[in-house]
Structure formats: structure tokens, C-alpha cells
Structure 1
Amino acid sequence: MACSEPEVDLCSVPVVALNVTVRKKLGLYLNPKHTVAADWTEVAEEMGFSYLEIENHKAVRNPTRAVLEEWAARNQGASVGKLLSILEKKERKDVVEDLRPLIDEDVRKYCESLKKKSEPPVQVPEVDSCVPRTPERFGITVDDSEDAPEFFDAFICYCQSDFEFVKEMIRELEQTEYKLKLCVFDRNVLPGSCVWTVTSELIEKRCKRMVAVISDEYLDSDDCDFQTKFALSLCPGARSKRLIPVIYKSMTKPFPSILRFLTVCDYTRPCTEAWFWGRLAKALSLP
């Protein structure tokens, strides 16, 4: 891409060049469901997202932003020009016309930053640059490396208010004879990566199963909702026993309807409490 030229080929400018202001305005246009105008779901479909992926993204607060970030992370052809082409194809020229000045300004700044990077460095050659070298889907956990990604027996889906029970789960399943390896986001995941990209990578490719800690707070969590629906999309009908719901305290709200067909591991029942950890460990140990 020759950024010094008057006319920049927008198809050569990655979508990451767009700053927060443009992304917020895109959400204001595309997040609401319209009866006559295309919304974010049609744009996502044109980007190549599947039906199940789009249904999962409905759980997040700003689906336009989440889709845009994931599209940029997994598609090398995710460019500003391609995004504008999709919007025009979906007859959202109103969005293009309103945002075009802001987009052009972001592209200009992006090109200027590239030009500065291409200039000879002030430092001596021995001084290394600080450009990140770790790919998005590697280096995401504390024991991760590009050559040897870290794998787990289970991803733990939980709310912050339930973290004390998660710590008990760590003690009972990791530090006993069961020797299981759990992926606990606050403990195992490194900061700095896109939350949705890292979460989907861990649930789909790094963890054999997912344990959902069900509570009243869980029902109000967008993160838990996304993780649960994503895990269910990977095993329709629970064929692979991928998702295991766990109840550890009494609830005032109804049990989530999307999990009603799954067998629950219930810590609140005195008659089964003695077998709770053994049953859960056995379920997580299955191939």
C-alpha cells in the first residue's frame, strides 16, 4: 500500500485502522433491529459468520463491535474497503455517507503511522523494537507458547460473585487425587487479548468440556450467557457432554431454560453432596 499517494486503496487498509469513535457509531446504526434496513446480523452474515455464531453474538451488549473485532482477528481480508462494500451491498449507504469523513481521517492517521514506522529508527540497530510478535490465538494463557499451546480438562464459566466456589472447585479437582486441569479465566488467561476471541478459542479448541456455575448472578451476566451459548453451539443436543451445569447454592430465579435438557450436578442437595465432587470429576475425566 502506497500511503503517500493522494488516493489510498481502502481494500489494502485493515479494519483495525478504524478507531473507537467509528466503531461506536457503527454500533449505533447497526445494533438496533430494523424492519426495513439491514442491521448487524445481515452485515455479519455477509462477513462469513455462520447462523450459530450470529446467534451467540446476540448475547453480547454491543454485537457490532464484537463481530467487527472477531472478523478482523480471523480474516486477513478484513479491510476498510471490504467493510464499506458490505454496507453498500446491504443498502446502508446512510451509514457510509455519515461515517466516511471519520473513516477517511482514521485511514489518514493509520497511513501516517505506517510511514513513521518505515522511517529509519532513532535507536541503534541493537535496540529491539516493541512491536508485538505473539499471534492473537497464541500466548493467551500463563503456561502457553506458540510451540506448545496449553490444554485443559474444563473451562469454568462463572461470575465474580461465585469465585469463592470456583476456588473450592480448584482445591477439590486439581489438588486432590483427581489431578484435573481447569481453565479459570482470572487465573489462567493473560491480559491484552480480545475477550471474545480468547474465550471462543479456549472453549472450542483448548478445553475438553465447560462447567457452568449456575446462580442468580450467572443469569444476569452477558459473559456467561455468551460462553454458555457458544459451548452449546459446539454440541447440539449435548452429544459430546461438553457442557456440565453446576448448582452450588439456592436460587431465587428460574433455572435457565436453554440448559433444562442437561443433567445437573447439584451441590445443594444433602442426599447427593457426598458424591458431588466424584461425579463431577468423573464427568470431566471422560475422553
Structure 2
Amino acid sequence: MAGTEPEVVVDLCTVPLVALNVTVRKKLGLYLNPKHTVAADWMEVAEEMGFSYLEIENYKTLTDPTRTVLVEWAARSSDASVGRLLSILEKKERRDIVEDLRSLIDEDVRKYCENLKKKSEPPVQVPEVDSCVPRTLERTGLTVDDDPEGAPELFDAFICYCQSDFEFVLQMIQQLEQTEYKLKLCVFDRNVLPGSCVWTITSELIERRCKRMVVVISDEYLDSDACDFQTKFALSLCPGARSKRLIPVIYKPMSKPFPSILRFLTVCDYTRPFTQGWFWIRLAKALSLP
């Protein structure tokens, strides 16, 4: 028919896993979380994704291991895509999942591609210039598990860190989320959807979505503009640390002076061998406070 644009075929291997919304992820959990005797479950899928035996054993204690596996896979692997996930399910002979969820997945991919296209287009007009603190965004659609039809996703703590300290952040996830503490951490590279203003998103998350903020202190942290903004913004919400909102953490020796704006806060120090046994317990208890 004249005037009809040809349908664009999307290579699903180029679509990141964040394109899948909370509905699809929940349905994947309904299929994969129960242990099957004849069909592949989440453990076989996780093994194919490259997770180790010990990691899979730890995930067994979780109520929704499929969700955690998807999040961790997206955070650690450049191969984590919608297409790769479908190929793994096919390889593990879970065609039933692929067939049942394919229409929902295709719809998520379509919306993701449309949003990317909109964000790449120039604005119709220059937005109003405002020197005040950025206005609050809509409270849904910021994080991977935000439910478009429900309440915004909330967290126990926002993790302020530099990319060079990400290995320790992964250790923090394992110790605080995947153990009996069952805490929920907001890790920017893992939880936040791409495409929006970094400063506005972090302000929204720190002020409205997270009860506390853990600041991973290192020499690299002192040179980070993003960490500086996040720390100062969080401090502005609790002058004098009256609400115990900020928790500084040191995990390796520093050559530079400790940041002066945090000098009045009690530090959780991982560098002292004789207190390492209490480190995660203290941090977990502090984050569990109401």
C-alpha cells in the first residue's frame, strides 16, 4: 500500500536486557523459579549465563532468584541482551516460555526502541531555563523494576561509588542482598534505566526512593564530580546527620585525606583486619533501621 512505511526488523541481540519491564521479568520468574525434574529451571539458565556454582548456591535462598540472576547478568556481561536470553531459553528447551512471552517481549522491545528514538530527536523548543534544583520527575520509569501501573520502586540504600570501586560494590550486593539481611540496594549501573539526566535521576532516587546512602570512600571518590554532587545533595537533606542518612565506608587504604564534609560521621572501616568480622553486620544493621 502506498505511503506505508516498511516494518523495521530489530536485531534482538542489540537490545539490552533493561528493555524488559517488570511484567515480563515476573512471568519469567513464575516459569523458572520452581524446581523442575524434567524442564530446565533458573539454575540451568544461570549456569549458561556464566554464573558459578557458589553463586547459584547462594541464590537458592532468595524468593525470586530469576530476578536477581537477570539483574546481575545485565550488570556484569556485555553479552546480556534480549536476543541472548531467548537463545539461552531455546538452548535449554524452554520453548514454552519463549512462545508464551514472545508477544510481551516484542512489545517491550518496540517501546524501548521508540523511547530511544524520541530521546535522540532534537527538542521542538528550548526548555525553560531554571537555575533552581531540578524538578522531580514522574515517580515511575526510572529503574529496571519500576511498575508503570504501580508504586515506584523503593530501596534501603543508594550506593555512591566510583567505577574503579565497582568490585567492592558487587561484594556489597552479595553480602547485603543475597544473605539473611535481604536488603535492597540502588546501584546506578544495575538499577537505573538509561536515557535521562543523571543529576535529576540521582536527586530523585536519593531524596524519595532510598532511606539511606552508603558512600564508598576512596582516592578516586575524591576526584569524582558525580560522587561529590550525590554526597552534598544527601547532606543537604539531613544537616548535621540527624537522620543517620549517610554512612561512609572505607574498604581500602587511602593516600589522600578523608573528605572533610564527612569527618563528623561514624565510618564503617573495612581496612582494619580486627574489625572485618563485624563490618557487614554493622553496615546491615545501620541500613535496616527504620
Q: TM-score, normalization: structure 1?
A: 0.55
Does structure 2 retain, via aligned residues, the 8 Å contact 1:249–1:267? yes
Residues 1-287 of structure 1 correspond to what in structure 2 (within 5 A)? Answer: 17-18=125-126, 44=131, 49=132, 53=133, 70=134, 73=135, 136-146=138-148, 147-287=150-290
Any unmatched runs of 5+ in structure 1? 1-14, 27-42, 54-69, 75-134
Percent identity between matched residues is: 80
Aligned residues: 167
Give the deviation of 1:136 after TM superposition. Answer: 4.4
Any unmatched runs of 5+ in structure 2? 1-122
1:17 maps to a residue whose letter is: Q
Match of 1:156, SS state, is strand
Match of 1:268, SS state, is coil
Cα distance, 1:178–1:192 mapped onto 2, change above 3 Å:
same
Runs in 1 of length 4+ with deviation above 3 angstroms?
A: none
Cα distance, 1:152–1:222 mapped onto 2, change above 3 Å:
same
1:240 maps to a residue whose letter is: S
Give the deviation of 1:194 after TM superposition. Answer: 1.2
Give the number of the structure whose alpha-carbon radius of gyration is greater: 1
Q: Distance in 2 between matches of 1:276 and 1:244?
A: 12
Match of 1:216, SS state, is coil
Does structure 1 retain, via aligned residues, the 8 Å contact 2:139–2:152? no
Does structure 2 retain, via aligned residues, the 8 Å contact 1:247–1:268? yes
Q: Distance in 2 between matches of 1:243 and 1:203?
A: 10
2:126 maps to a residue whose letter is: L
Does structure 2 retain, via aligned residues, the 8 Å contact 1:218–1:224? yes
Q: Distance in 1 between matches of 2:126 and 2:203?
A: 24
1:274 maps to a residue whose letter is: G
Match of 1:150, SS state, is coil
CA displacement 1:248-285 (0-9 Å, x = unmatched): 00000000000000000000011211100000000000
Q: Distance in 2 between matches of 1:269 and 1:211?
A: 19
